Structure 1
């Protein structure tokens, strides 16, 4: 009996809350834009970048406008197809009018509509149906009942600036981001959201989980992921996030841009070196897939299932040519330079990390805001790399030349990037390697099998002595 009473009271409270929201929303007329275009649609990753940034800026303005008038912003998802089916059973004529106005239900973009709506502060997730009722009237001039709750979902939104973070290691994947994470982690003033060796996808999955502005739930999940881990909650430390794919998703690095104070670390490397490592991971036929997965040389799902793997790197100019071209990141680097400038962007080449680690990491830590140098006894290590022949690429000079020609725009973009970085940190060795298109295939010391770099799951790393220790 007591349980039934509690359940009944909860229903009454919920109904009272909905009615309070309905009354407040009926008279709520904020000067903010309601509805479209405001949030993610399928295929948005492939839109023109200026369009994407424009959407994100406008969406941010919508959220800020709502905050200024004391409201709360909601991303409302409306399952149009389901709603039209329900409405059609009651009023077929009205359903056709709504369909004509909002989009054909068979259209992939018309099945679920998303928009940002500003509502009174008293409203909770029950604002969704009311928001869609108002949208249908404002856009179509049609009077409908609020859609049923099963056809509408609402998530409260916040601002990218609400995320407290100092910097992000944003890529480029397969160029040394793991080494940067693990080595910076040794500095007493620097910490990462998920600690040593971890990549953080809580905010930035592939296109930050498909959001132009973050939901409160998304931000809470991000904060909870590192709560109590190490010193990530120590306000005296510089807090960073490591995610090596950010650089290849405009939605993600535009989000960093909108955070305004977050700095971005970008690690670049020889394009041919990176392409071979990606090929090794995604497409190469390993003699022993089980061992390759343990070494992180292959994607686990490929284990014992791949029938279409490639036995030679020649596939990069054959059946994998299109895939190889899609790995290009030079244009993203150029975009980051335009967005962030010297104050918020630091570009470091793998050659600098490899040959001059103490100088490079010291400069990077100081740029991030550290007030003291690394301890004298700090040993800088190199992670996630391979000595010896990874594929047959380095045994085929003609294939190397063809691929270097195919990657010409990448080499040019990186040369300009390192030249741009000279103002804050000259990297002559990197410039030399890029101009000569010098890859690991041209470095005898990289092709000799050795005790280091044999397994990514060995987080002890390999001492990275470089030219500094050798006195070169």
Structure 2
């Protein structure tokens, strides 16, 4: 009994000792740790920050701030580079980097009566925001990045180091403002890591509606390749879409899901990969136009990219068919993959594909490929594989064997059966019945054709990119579409 009592007493004593170790090491290297802290860890458009802030940052990097808008890549690149430099500097300092989020409204609720007015006045002054007259006027949270010694854990950072950063808006003794609460009640902390902490070897990043589903499903047949799931990977487009650095929790979850996918594949197929460990793939056909996603992938040195190209006219028609074409029976069209699953019939639709030209402002810029393809080719030179959709249709075996060779893997097993998915044959719209419209679209998309020809020429391919599906409309067969359970069935 006495031994158990001593053990219980030792727990808080150990915690106090650990807190002291964290505090002592932080005080010893405080100058270096503080110099690295307070960098942004989430992407925000330029319009979300005051003019003086982003103009000063851009000009410090030699960028003409007056010529930069929130839609340009310079701002994205600047924020991403600062985050990368910060975590590198923290590592050199021998520390860990933290993303700390303060719930300002909860802090306001916990503050003692006389401290509430002081808090809002200090916040308005410290962050140059307009006067705050009510709780609802407060920002929901305040996010700070902090570099600390490696020995500190999240609780220690919040209890012993974070209060120092709040004095500017909570006074010299910030704990007094909390009353009986502590900072642990109002602050959440996550360690952040580098992007290369993710176990990802290659990614199918685009182009959407050009055969990316066929790429993913057929590559997954290879015994040395594992995808995390049978769906598009949302890691870079949703889960960590705005993050400039990922949290350890995000990294750990992704890597754990990959290990589970590997075990599930071995159980399903009955054979282990011919190499150890297998390559980990991710697929999201909408990553290629995202500047921030490209920055993240570039920060993963071993990551290789796969991009499938296709006829621009056919792609435009398919996107129009899915989102904007009027179907007499929408539900039947959705079952045949002739309309997007989330359309409810209330959106504006058009009876003819001539709207692709006449209504260009509605969606034209959103589906342009050429500028993004040029950036990808330049930035990922040596670790990117371009192919054309025609190769998947006309010579699947040699195409997929070349592709896995690029990934450093042996060819597919002899019994591999390569299928095409999400392909709807015949006349999808009225486009192929209007030769003049097809000609007009090809002229409008000339820059897209030129870019594809240049890329394929660099990669030593001789695919004829100037033909459209209308040139061989009678040869296009309906292939395989996913049903509600995700299994391939005839459309």
The TM-score by the shorter chain falls in which range? 0.7 to 0.9
Q: For structure 2, list consecutive stretches of 5 or more residues without a partner in the other structure.
A: 49-68, 267-271
Aligned partners of 2:480 and 2:488 also within 8 Å = no
Residue 248 of structure 1, aligned match among 276, 289, 301: 289
* Matched position secondary structure for 1:59: helix
Moved more, 18-27 or 352-361: 18-27
* Matched position secondary structure for 2:147: strand
Moved more, 255-264 or 394-403: 394-403
Q: Counterpart in 2 of 1:117?
A: 146
Residue 183 of structure 1, aligned match among 212, 218, 223: 218
Distance 1:112 1:140, change over 3 A: closer
Deviations 1:259-300 (A, max 9, x none): 111111111111121122222222222222223333343333
Q: Counterpart in 1 of 2:126?
A: 101
Deviations 1:151-170 (A, max 9, x none): 53322211112122221111
Deviations 1:333-392 (A, max 9, x none): 111112110x2111111122221222211111111101x322333322211111011122
Distance 1:353 1:300, change over 3 A: closer
Q: CA deviation at 1:443?
A: 1.9
Aligned partners of 2:481 and 2:488 also within 8 Å = no
Q: How does 1:32-71 map to 2 (within 5 A)?
A: 33-41=36-44, 46-71=70-95
Aligned partners of 2:104 and 2:140 also within 8 Å = yes
Q: How does 1:216-365 map to 2 (within 5 A)?
A: 216-226=248-258, 227=260, 228-231=263-266, 235-303=276-344, 305-319=345-359, 321-341=361-381, 343-365=382-404
Q: Counterpart in 1 of 2:61?
A: none
Please tell me the root mean square deviation across aligned C-alpha atoms, in Å.
3.7
* Matched position secondary structure for 2:254: helix
**1:285 & 1:125 partners in 2: Cα distance?**
57
Q: CA deviation at 1:439?
A: 1.6
Q: CA deviation at 1:417?
A: 1.8
Deviations 1:199-254 (A, max 9, x none): 222x2224843211111111122123231331499733222112211112222222
Moved more, 322-331 or 113-122: 113-122
**1:331 & 1:109 partners in 2: Cα distance?**
40
Using structure 1 for the length normalisation, give the TM-score.
0.80
Aligned partners of 1:165 and 1:240 also within 8 Å = yes
Q: For structure 1, list consecutive stretches of 5 or more residues without a partner in the other structure.
A: 463-472
Q: CA deviation at 1:16?
A: 5.2
**1:163 & 1:210 partners in 2: Cα distance?**
17
Is residue 460 of structure 2 the alignment partner of residue 408 of structure 1? no
Distance 1:186 1:127, change over 3 A: same
The count of corresponding residues between Structure 1 and Structure 2 is 437
**1:360 & 1:185 partners in 2: Cα distance?**
15
Q: CA deviation at 1:144?
A: 5.7
Distance 1:428 1:154, change over 3 A: same
**1:91 & 1:446 partners in 2: Cα distance?**
73
* Matched position secondary structure for 1:204: helix
